[in-house]
């Protein structure tokens, strides 16, 4: 079941707060928010204003909360179809049982994350250019609203009282985008990611490195095995215990060990990269 559609420009803050008193028992996003409450979050962080500046002035927002486990937020320009889609977010609250290694730090207590299962941000009105090149998986250029989305996720995470925000980067460039605020939950993966990024970013730059990983141009080891990017949990800490875990001596030690191991064996197959039309 979906909440009733409405035009963002037609709603006022008064409408939103009038809705709050009637939210109990309705179909709620993340088991807590009505569609109008979510609009308030989106409006307050400046996402609507930013979208207006990009030429999207007839926005429509939709929340799908029929699946208790995995829920969806979509934003369209004018018409609700795939050609006018600008934001597509799949999100859920997820409990995580620490691995045996992590239990030495967290104990038996489960962690709770706000998990971003899928996120598309695209500008269907824009074209790729020499300065704004296409990245793997993209159909249109991005919206340039990374900061606003980060504020939305952080606001929701704090309000929902979770331990952190969990991203699952499907592409290597997603992990690069998240790297300033997120760390991989497993230190071995963090070390692997840092090795690939630091080994090649200066030589290739962001876009070329994204394509090099995607097109299997990075090899490793004596027999030049193909390096394949595998998705893993990348976490932005909300609660102090997650931050302290990332700052712990044991986590840092394992990250550095994995990074050194990968740095020694990684290499770039330049003939492969030369064939990519970027």
pLDDT at residue number 2:
46
How many Cα atoms within 13 Å fall on the side-chain side of residue 104? 6
Contact 261, 191 (CB under 8 A): yes
Sheet with 218-220: strands ordered across: 225-226, 218-220, 266-268
Mean pLDDT of all residues in 175-180 = 94
What proportion of the chain, given as a percentage, has pLDDT over 90? Answer: 55
CA dist 78 and 244 (Å) reads: 45
More confident residue, 169 or 104: 169
Residue with tokens 């939709």: 62
Residue 118: strand pairing partners: 90
Q: Determine if residue 72 is left, alpha or beta; phi over 0 gives left, psi from -120 to 50 gives alpha, anything else beta.
A: beta
Token reading at 125: 């009105």
Query: pTM of the full predicted structure?
Result: 0.85
Dihedral through CA 178, CA 204, CA 267, CA 273, nearest 10? 110
Q: Radius of gyration of the chain from Cα atoms?
A: 21
CA dist 241 and 107 (Å) reads: 11
Q: How far apart are the first and last CA of the chain?
A: 42
How many Cα atoms within 13 Å fall on the side-chain side of residue 148? 16
How many Cα atoms within 13 Å fall on the side-chain side of residue 35? 21
Tens of pLDDT, residue by residue over 221-232, are: 988 999 999 999
Q: How far is CA 231 from the centre of its chain?
A: 12
- Name the least confident of 60-69, 80-89, 108-117, 249-258: 60-69
DSSP 28: -
pLDDT at residue number 99:
87
Q: Is the pLDDT of residue 259 over 70?
A: yes
Helices (H) and strands (E) counted in the chain, each on its own, are 10, 11
Tens of pLDDT, residue by residue over 20-75, are: 333 333 468 888 888 888 888 888 888 888 888 888 888 888 888 766 678 888 99
pLDDT at residue number 135:
94
């Amino acid at each position: 079941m979906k909440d009733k559609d409405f035009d963002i420009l037609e709603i006022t803050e008064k409408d939103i707060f009038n809705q709050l008193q009637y939210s109990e028992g309705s179909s709620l996003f993340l088991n807590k928010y009505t569609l109008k409450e979510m609009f308030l979050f989106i409006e307050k962080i400046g996402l609507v204003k930013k979208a207006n500046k990009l030429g999207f002035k007839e926005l429509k927002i939709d929340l799908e909360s029929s699946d208790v486990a995995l829920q969806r937020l979509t934003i369209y320009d004018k018409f609700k179809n795939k050609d006018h889609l600008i934001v597509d977010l799949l999100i859920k609250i997820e409990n995580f049982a620490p691995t045996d290694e992590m239990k030495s730090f967290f104990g038996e207590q489960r962690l709770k994350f706000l998990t971003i299962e899928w996120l598309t941000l695209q500008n269907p009105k824009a074209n790729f250019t020499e300065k704004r090149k296409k990245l793997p998986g993209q159909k249109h250029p991005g919206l340039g609203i990374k900061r606003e989305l980060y504020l939305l996720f952080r606001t929701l995470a704090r309000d929902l009282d979770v331990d952190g925000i969990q991203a699952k980067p499907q592409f290597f460039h997603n992990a690069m985008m998240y790297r300033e605020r997120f760390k991989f939950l497993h230190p071995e993966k963090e070390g692997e990611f840092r090795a690939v990024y630091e080994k090649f970013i200066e030589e290739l730059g962001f876009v070329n490195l994204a394509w090099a990983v995607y097109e299997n141009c990075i090899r490793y080891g004596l027999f030049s095995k193909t390096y394949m990017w595998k998705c893993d949990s990348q976490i932005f800490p909300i609660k102090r215990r997650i931050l302290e875990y990332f700052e712990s001596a044991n986590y840092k030690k394992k990250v550095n060990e994995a990074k050194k191991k990968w740095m020694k064996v990684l290499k770039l197959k330049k003939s492969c990269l030369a064939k990519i039309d970027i």
